[in-house]
Amino acid sequence: MGQDIKFLLVDDFSTMRRIVKTFLHDLGYPNVAEADNSSTALPMLKSGDFNFLITHWNIPGAPGLELVRAVRADPDLARMPVLLLTAQPKPQQIVVAMQAGISGYVVKPFTSKTLREKLEKILHGAPTTRRGNSSRWLPGLESNQRPTD
């Protein structure tokens, strides 16, 4: 299943992108494209065949949260799973991010094991959002799974 999922990884820090991409490859997810800001990421999402978005909270241009809102507002992207990376795990920020429609979050710094656990929770424990069927986004998932919080 991992080979079927195409990730878009958005972070302005190239070293962080390299680390997360390496983690994803090691976890069996070889299809990872990168963007360094939301201005680049949104057109890529709209024109690409991505199944999963991983974005950092603080990125140039529109913050990651605004990218999440733009994805959720687009009918063609609204059900895509979104994992938010943050170095600022303030409870009120996480609540706002959950309300915006993230599927889960990871606090930096994190390990490959932590990333694997979050991905498994999103991919196998639930569809992506509270908005319905995720089968278009995640090959092999049943559409009757419940969302994660």
Is residue 121 one of the residues assigned to a domain?
yes
Between 60 and 24, residue with greater pLDDT = 24
Mean pLDDT, to the nearest integer, of 12-22?
Answer: 96
> Which DSSP state fits 61?
S
| CATH classification of the domain holding 23 | 3.40.50.2300
What is the number of domains present in the chain? 1
The pLDDT value recorded for residue 104 is: 95
Residue 148 has pLDDT above 60, yes or no: no
Residue 63, class by beta-carbon neighbours within 10 Å (0-12 exposed, 13-18 middle, 19+ buried)? middle
Are residues 10 and 35 in contact, defined by beta-carbon separation less than 8 angstroms?
Answer: yes
Which domain, by its residues, includes 14? Answer: 2-125
Residue 141 has pLDDT above 60, yes or no: no
Kindly report the average pLDDT of the chain as a whole number: 84
Per-position DSSP letters for 98-130, written without gaps between them: HHHT-SEEEESS--HHHHHHHHHHHHHH--SST
pLDDT category of residue 147 using cuts at 50, 70 and 90: very low
